[in-house]
Amino acid sequence: MLNKLLSKPLVVTTTQLTMILIAVASIFLIFIIIAIIKMYKLKAENKKLMETNAFKEVDESYKDFTSGHLYGDN
């Protein structure tokens, strides 16, 4: 029985192949749309976080430690 199945060539019509390709392309298109939506949401959240006072306080409290005695910049 297995010999009969293997000896018979698998025939796929162009219509079947087209339907499979359309289905796969649709799934990938959905994934791409979801990724784009998430990207824009993350950009908006990042912009909102950058405008808060917490980020400004951390940024202003940074000190440049490269002007120490190790570099001859007394």
Q: Tell me, what's the pLDDT at 6?
A: 64
* Torsion (CA) 11, 17, 23, 29 in degrees, nearest 10: 140
pTM for the model: 0.56
> Which runs of consecutive H residues, i.e. helices, occur in the chain?
2-7, 14-50, 53-60
What is the residue type of 73? D
Confidence band (pLDDT; 50, 70, 90) for 19?
Answer: very high
